[in-house]
Amino acid sequence: MKVNADLHCHSGASGGVGDLNIEKVAETMPLKGIELLGTGDCLHPKWNATLKEILNEFSEGVFSPTFDSDIKFILQTELIFTCAVKTGRKSVHIIFLFPSFEVVDKIIALFEKWDVKNTIGRPFIKCEDKNDVAEKLYQMNKIDDLIEIIPAHVMTPQGVFGSNNPINHLEEFFGDSVELIHSIETGLSADPIILGLIPEFDNLTLLSNSDAHSHHLARLGREFTTLEVKTLSYPAIINAIRTNNIVRTAEFNPAEGRYFLSGHRAGKKGHNDKFCVFSPKYTPKNKICPICGKKLTIGVLERAFELSIAQGGNRELGFLPKNSRPFVHMVPLVEIIAESYGIKSTTSKKVLREYQRIMAVLENECDMWFMKPEKIEAKLEGVVDDALIRNIVEVRKGNFTFEPFGFDGTYGHLVIGETRDYLNVNISPKSPQRTLM
Ligand SMILES: [Zn+2]
Ligand SMILES: [Zn+2]
């Protein structure tokens, strides 16, 4: 059976915007077409207690809410491991999946032994060096070898290959425990094409997750992975991840991702309303911001090129490893609706009303991205405005871009009806406030 899974979320305990509430999530997930969700923050005392109260075991390691609902959960958290690497002290976000509440309780006890402060949703695990990282991951693995360790959003600044104190091989951070890693999360600013530049990923499973901090339609399920499993159970899910039994991934468009290109956003200290953004070819050689004189935030695309060279890949953009799986690019439907009506907020009443109208005739949003444009058109005729239908179909056909592309923590802004290949960006440093080809 096929399962649409989004295995990386956060509760309110992780900070950021909003808070995940199981009842609200249960309303959003069927609309999006997500069947299996990571609980987020399952080690956090308060959220852990809520989860124990509100979830019943549906099958081995898979949980359903105590109220009437078809949605399912698995126990998940994100942890931040830090250790010294040759470029400085590096922090790496890592997703963990757990087979049961008992195992989660044993991990909490282990963290007490390690003196980990477990009062935030995403605790820090401070390590001396890569050997210490490996030692700690092996200790966790010893509790249960079905605990899955997935480096999160690998290319963003906080990911293992991110621009903060960069390293060029997984081993430089994970030491020997690299053998415990079977998969990585692509992150919002990267897709299989970009990650295809990096030889070390050739034999790993690529997973896509939303990293949502709220139940909102623009966040939950904005990336997901369709897994092929024999039964809907935790061991079967882990087996699918470890054997790359992935049907497809649905990707956020990298150009919309907050770390796609290199640059400094407006509003940064010394910037006022000026910003600078560079495609890899045009980033200043010293990687220094021409406006404020500080180090630029290096984007995902540029890091992928650097890693390709460092790992001896010499690959052209567009190369897909033989183990890669089919994927599509999506734009959250609420963003298309908001853009169509010139509304800023994707949670406004008008946007949600139109969204509900569309979902009354389409199965769910995820399915829409795998539907032929003509079919979408036929189904929506007379249901919503023609202009909105046209915009949805344009996006489904790939006729859209972002202006500017995402960089330094800012999402790209959707423009429908124009195309600009995200893989072919040429942004020059000559006019740093507004740098487009
Ligand atoms: Zn993270
Ligand atoms: Zn700057």
Distance 431 CA to ligand 1 centre (A): 33
What pLDDT shows up at residue 59?
A: 97
Query: What is the crossing angle of helices 373-380 and 386-397, to 10°?
Result: 170
User: What ligand is nearest to the CA atom of residue 16?
Assistant: 1
User: What ligand is nearest to the CA atom of residue 408?
Assistant: 2
Distance 200 CA to ligand 1 centre (A): 21
User: What ligand is nearest to the CA atom of residue 278?
Assistant: 2
Q: How many Cβ atoms sit within 10 Å of the Cβ of residue 266?
A: 14
List the chain residues with pLDDT less than 70.
14-19, 424-437
Assess contact for 86 and 172: CB atoms under 8 A: yes
Hey, what CATH class is 2-256 in?
A: alpha beta
Q: Which residues contact 221 (CB under 8 A, 6 or more apart)?
A: 4, 6, 28, 29, 32, 33, 34, 210, 212, 365, 366
User: What ligand is nearest to the CA atom of residue 407?
Assistant: 2
Distance 126 CA to ligand 2 centre (A): 30
Which secondary-structure segment (H or E) carries 113? helix 101-113
Secondary-structure breakdown of the chain: helix, strand, coil percentages, each rounded to the nearest 5? 35, 20, 45
Assess contact for 436 and 427: CB atoms under 8 A: yes
Distance 171 CA to ligand 1 centre (A): 20
Distance 307 CA to ligand 2 centre (A): 24
Distance 267 CA to ligand 2 centre (A): 9
Distance 189 CA to ligand 1 centre (A): 13
Distance 228 CA to ligand 2 centre (A): 45
User: What ligand is nearest to the CA atom of residue 155?
Assistant: 1
Assess contact for 366 and 33: CB atoms under 8 A: yes
Distance 300 CA to ligand 2 centre (A): 18
pLDDT one-digit tens code per residue, 176-230:
999 999 999 999 889 999 999 999 999 999 999 999 888 888 888 899 999 999 9
CA atoms of 274 and 421, how far apart (whole Å): 25
Mean pLDDT of the chain: 91
What pLDDT shows up at residue 434?
A: 45
Helix (H, G, I), strand (E, B) or coil at 207: strand
User: What ligand is nearest to the CA atom of residue 295?
Assistant: 2
pTM: 0.92
CA atoms of 95 and 41, how far apart (whole Å): 10
Distance 10 CA to ligand 1 centre (A): 9
User: What ligand is nearest to the CA atom of residue 160?
Assistant: 1
What pLDDT shows up at residue 14?
A: 64
Q: In 3D, which of 353, 354, 359, 334 has the Cα closest to residue 344?
A: 334
Distance 353 CA to ligand 1 centre (A): 32
Helix (H, G, I), strand (E, B) or coil at 341: helix
Distance 93 CA to ligand 1 centre (A): 5
What pLDDT shows up at residue 15?
A: 60
What pLDDT shows up at residue 433?
A: 43
CA atoms of 185 and 433, how far apart (whole Å): 32
pLDDT one-digit tens code per residue, 26-45:
989 999 999 999 999 999 99
Domain range summary for the chain, segments of one domain joined by +: 2-256, 331-398
**In the structure encoding, which two tokens stand for residue 129, read together?**
């060096």
Distance 15 CA to ligand 1 centre (A): 12
Distance 304 CA to ligand 2 centre (A): 22
Distance 409 CA to ligand 2 centre (A): 13
What pLDDT shows up at residue 426?
A: 62
Count of alpha carbons within 13 angstroms of residue 226, beta-carbon side? 15
Distance 248 CA to ligand 1 centre (A): 22
Distance 12 CA to ligand 1 centre (A): 14
Count of alpha carbons within 13 angstroms of residue 212, beta-carbon side? 29
